[in-house]
């Protein structure tokens, strides 16, 4: 489908900006492993502090890249499946807000005035521009949702008994989750943190801020994940040469994410003493529940790929696995998605450990946790995003992929790096290795009294994985920017591989309507969070003065 020049430029900018910043994000990811392995025994290198780099790594990779991509991909899915472009004024307003907010936050971080990590927990205090920029990025990402809903309503009036295209359903579910969860963090930033950063308030309620952040923070994981799920259900079977085993299974999985994504955030606060055991128990149950759509997806995709493999000539029980286009450079998106799915198996299993109250106490605040979420965020999320960014770049510019044989290797090289890297982090975490800590200053410095030689193997393993991931990232940048500078050889258009459903499943109104699911989502959120918020307001304690990395004594 051809798109207007305006929409094409918006999508390309929304891809170019985060991928360019990603160079800085991946560099600082490598530097984290270098610091933690004890290669550097100081607080900074190349005039960038450890925590400054950790903040840049987290914010660019986990917030900027994911938000820009989700909006760009949403524009593509809505336009392609509903055959109508979003409003021009809305798309440009959204883009300007997001780019301006990103630049403001980037200035604060690069200037060393916002080394508060991507969680920006108080009493760590950032420059006001960091909070203003974050708020602008969030508000900018809200604009497309309301515009897409107008496009969807118009389509629905014209097609009252037609199934909502699965990709459109996924996009709208994702941004309804995003809008709901970001209301809390917008309140946190604008009402609690910004007045405090500007000096209008002397203290801040730390536990309330943490609770509002995690109302947003865990749902953010599904905001990252759902674009990948859309690709898995609507594109992966087609690219593999088969069909989607069940369209309704995809709808059930997506609506279950709508119900359960937001209310599970309390499991990040299992160690907070001023939240009741009952609230934590509810969060545990809901977190186990959110594994259900992942199991549904695992079964559905396995069945879809088995059909593809057998259609390609496979025989025997597992012969289909060898008949998939792993290294076909013309179907390179398969590699980006299958490598992410392999990592997601391990990410999901380790996530079940984190959701258990008892087991979480063993790994809490250890390097196990970043080992887990790199298998999810740096697995299916990251690989699907960078693969589709390359796909959309090629389609919208009419340029063929630069070095296609190198491109098809990138996801597998990245997968190997993540497996090694995360194994090192989780191995160290089980031995008590802390997260968010410059180990090279103390624990991995042989000349320091706190030296822990038992963490040397785990940090070196993580370093080896980090180096492989960095190499894969550099290969990707060569392909991405090389494609930008190639000559146009084909007509520019948006074409998304659309998987045909294996079963002609009956139209079920419940799976084609948002209203009942949104009502249930609100009810579950109230059950999960009203008691938690009351606990925090009642037992939050006195407000905290600011804590700056340069001044260990609060308030000085």
Instruction: Give catalytic residue positions.
Output: 218, 222, 372-374, 435-436
- Greatest Cα-to-Cα distance within the chain, rounded to the nearest angstrom: 73
Look at phi and psi of residue 551 and say left if phi exceeds 0, alpha if psi is from -120 to 50, else beta. Answer: beta
Instruction: With H, G, I as helix, E, B as strand and everything else as coil, classify residue 117.
Output: coil
Q: How far is 45 from 352, CA to CA, in rounded Å?
A: 37
Q: How far is 489 from 497, CA to CA, in rounded Å?
A: 20
Q: How far is 164 from 168, CA to CA, in rounded Å?
A: 7
Q: 3-state DSSP: the chain helix, strand, coil percent, rounded to 5?
A: 70, 5, 25
DSSP state of 320: G
H or E segment at 518?
A: helix 515-539
- Residue 296's Cβ-count burial label (10 Å; 0-12, 13-18, 19+) is middle
Cross-strand bridge partners of residue 501: 244
**For residue 262, what are the contacts with CB-CB under 8 A and spacing of at least 6?**
177, 180, 181, 215, 218, 219, 521, 525
CB 320, CB 314: distance < 8 Å: yes
DSSP labels for 406-448? Answer: HHTTHHHHHHHHHHHHHHHHHHHHHTTPBSS--GGGTTT-TTS
CB 360, CB 354: distance < 8 Å: yes
The closest alpha carbon to 36, from 449, 468, 454, 434, belongs to 434
φ, ψ dihedrals at 428, nearest 5°: -65, -40
The closest alpha carbon to 374, from 332, 414, 326, belongs to 414
Q: How far is 28 from 48, CA to CA, in rounded Å?
A: 10
Q: How far is 493 from 480, CA to CA, in rounded Å?
A: 18
Q: How far is 556 from 546, CA to CA, in rounded Å?
A: 8
Instruction: With H, G, I as helix, E, B as strand and everything else as coil, classify residue 547.
Output: strand
CB 263, CB 524: distance < 8 Å: yes
Residue with tokens 């999508």: 11
Q: How far is 368 from 377, CA to CA, in rounded Å?
A: 14
CB 390, CB 359: distance < 8 Å: no
Q: What angle do CA 502, 503, 508 make, to 5 degrees?
A: 135
- Residue 543's Cβ-count burial label (10 Å; 0-12, 13-18, 19+) is middle
Structure tokens at 268: 């990040």
DSSP E strands: which ranges in 457-530? none
């Amino acid at each position: 489908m051809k798109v207007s020049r305006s929409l094409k430029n918006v999508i390309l900018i929304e891809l170019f900006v985060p991928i360019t910043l990603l160079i800085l994000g991946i560099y600082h990811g490598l530097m984290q492993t270098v610091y933690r392995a004890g290669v550097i025994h100081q607080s900074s290198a190349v005039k960038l502090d450890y925590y400054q780099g950790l903040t840049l790594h987290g914010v660019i990779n986990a917030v900027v890249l994911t938000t820009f991509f989700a909006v760009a991909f949403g524009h593509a899915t809505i336009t392609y499946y509903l055959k109508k472009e979003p409003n021009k004024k809305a798309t440009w307003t959204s883009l300007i807000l997001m780019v301006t907010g990103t630049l403001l936050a980037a200035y604060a971080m690069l200037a060393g005035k916002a080394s508060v990590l991507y969680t920006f927990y108080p009493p760590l205090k950032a420059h006001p521009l960091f909070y203003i920029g974050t708020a602008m990025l969030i508000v900018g990402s809200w604009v497309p949702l309301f515009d897409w809903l107008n496009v969807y309503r118009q389509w629905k009036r014209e097609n009252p008994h037609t199934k909502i295209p699965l990709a459109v359903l996924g996009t709208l579910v994702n941004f309804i989750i995003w809008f709901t969860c970001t209301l809390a963090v917008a309140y946190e930033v604008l009402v609690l943190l910004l007045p405090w950063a500007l000096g209008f308030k002397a203290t801040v309620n730390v536990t309330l801020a943490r609770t509002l952040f995690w109302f947003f923070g865990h749902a953010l994981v599904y905001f990252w994940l759902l674009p990948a799920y859309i690709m898995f259900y609507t594109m992966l079977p087609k690219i593999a040469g088969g069909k989607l085993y069940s369209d309704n299974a995809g709808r059930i999985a997506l609506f279950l994410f709508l119900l359960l994504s937001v209310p599970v955030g309390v499991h990040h606060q299992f160690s907070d003493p001023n939240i009741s055991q009952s609230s934590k128990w509810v969060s545990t149950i809901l977190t186990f529940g959110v594994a259900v759509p992942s199991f549904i997806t695992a079964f559905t995709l396995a069945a879809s790929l088995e059909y593809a493999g057998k259609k390609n000539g496979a025989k025997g029980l597992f012969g289909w696995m060898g008949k998939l286009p792993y290294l076909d450079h013309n179907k390179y998106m398969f590699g980006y998605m299958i490598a992410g799915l392999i990592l997601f198996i391990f990410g999901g299993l380790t996530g079940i450990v984190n959701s258990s109250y008892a087991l979480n106490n063993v790994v809490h605040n250890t390097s196990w946790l970043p080992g887990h979420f790199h298998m999810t965020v740096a697995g299916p999320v990251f690989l699907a995003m960078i693969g589709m960014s390359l796909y959309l770049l090629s389609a919208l510019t009419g340029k063929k992929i630069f070095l296609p044989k190198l491109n098809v290797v990138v996801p597998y090289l990245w997968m190997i790096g993540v497996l090694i890297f995360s194994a090192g982090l989780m191995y160290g975490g089980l031995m008590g290795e802390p997260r968010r800590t410059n180990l090279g200053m103390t624990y991995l410095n042989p000349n320091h009294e706190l030296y822990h030689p038992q963490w040397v193997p785990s940090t070196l393993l993580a370093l080896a994985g980090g180096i492989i991931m960095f190499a894969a990232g550099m290969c990707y940048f060569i392909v991405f920017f090389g494609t930008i500078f190639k000559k146009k050889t084909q007509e520019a258009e948006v074409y998304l591989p659309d998987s045909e459903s294996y079963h002609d499943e009956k139209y079920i109104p419940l799976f084609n309507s948002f209203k009942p699911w949104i009502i249930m989502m609100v009810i579950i959120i109230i059950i999960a969070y009203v008691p938690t918020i009351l606990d925090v307001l009642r037992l939050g304690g006195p407000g905290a003065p600011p804590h700056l990395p340069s001044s260990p004594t609060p308030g000085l």
